[in-house]
Amino acid sequence: MSYDPIEKVAKGAAEGLLDWGTDFIKKLATKFRDRKLGFIQDQKTIERVKEQYRSDELAFYKEYIKDKEILFLLKMGLTLRSLEKEKEEDRRKILRGKIFNKYQIKGLHIAQFVENGILSRYIGILIGDISSIEKFKEDIMNVLENIEKHVLFVRTKDTERDIIKQSFSITTANIPMIFIISGIASAAEIVKKCEIKLKELLKDYDLEKISSSQKETLVFKRILKE
């Protein structure tokens, strides 16, 4: 067998370039991801975000949602939930503020949709009536891209009258198949007080409640008439 040193060097260089290229791409992807998280400006919170990259819930979302910006906001929502679970309230409030400053109220609401566990319940309802994977994907993207037409996030300063008025306005204008009202802490108490009036108002919907000590979520599912 003949020995060609030039061929050997060329082959080694090519293999080294391939290895270097793969390594470079990985490093570049990590650098880009870290730069995207830079707005958080807190290393411990950034590490908490990175932990969510390995979660089963995020893996599920990635199967059906391909929009990178929305997926990033879902990661923020998972992080907010994790901070809440670990009782890191100061970091949670700061992160919420930074999400709002960078992505405005719509971005914060998408993150809250995950934080409060509403997206997973919404998907559960969709799965119960699934007709095709493509329609399933469309429905998920529709609620995330047009969240203000499907979800009312109650604020502490809202009154019962505000909630009734906004609920009527949203459901009349958009006729959503699923309409959700959610409140946290003191806002949860306001949602509870509105329940009876909302049931009277939304007669074309069935009501499902998701309650906890700090959260109150009312899920109205439109009744399909034969």
- For residue range 158-194, list pLDDT tens digits in order: 999 999 999 999 999 999 999 999 999 899 999 999 9
Beta bridge partners of 183: 216
Strands 178-184 and 151-153, by their bridges, are parallel
Domain locations in the chain?
12-115, 150-226
Are 154 and 182 within 8 A, CB to CB? yes
Give me the mean pLDDT over the 89-98 stretch. 94
Residue matched to tokens 């830079």: 38
Q: How far apart are CA 148 and CA 107, in angstroms?
A: 11
* Whether the Cβ atoms of residue 210 and residue 217 lie closer than 8 Å to each other: yes
Q: Is the CATH code 3.30.110.20 the one for domain 150-226?
A: yes
Strand extents, DSSP E, 170-224: 178-184, 205-211, 215-222
Question: Mutual orientation of helices 68-85 and 43-52 as an angle, nearest 10°?
Answer: 110
Helix 133-145 and helix 118-128, axial crossing angle in degrees, nearest 10: 150
pLDDT band for position 28 (cuts 50, 70, 90): very low
Sign of the torsion formed by the C-alpha atoms of 137, 140, 144 and 147? positive
Query: What local confidence, expressed as pLDDT, does residue 165 receive?
Result: 96
| pLDDT one-digit tens code per residue, 110-161 | 999 999 999 999 999 998 888 889 999 999 999 999 999 999 999 999 999 9
pTM for this prediction: 0.80
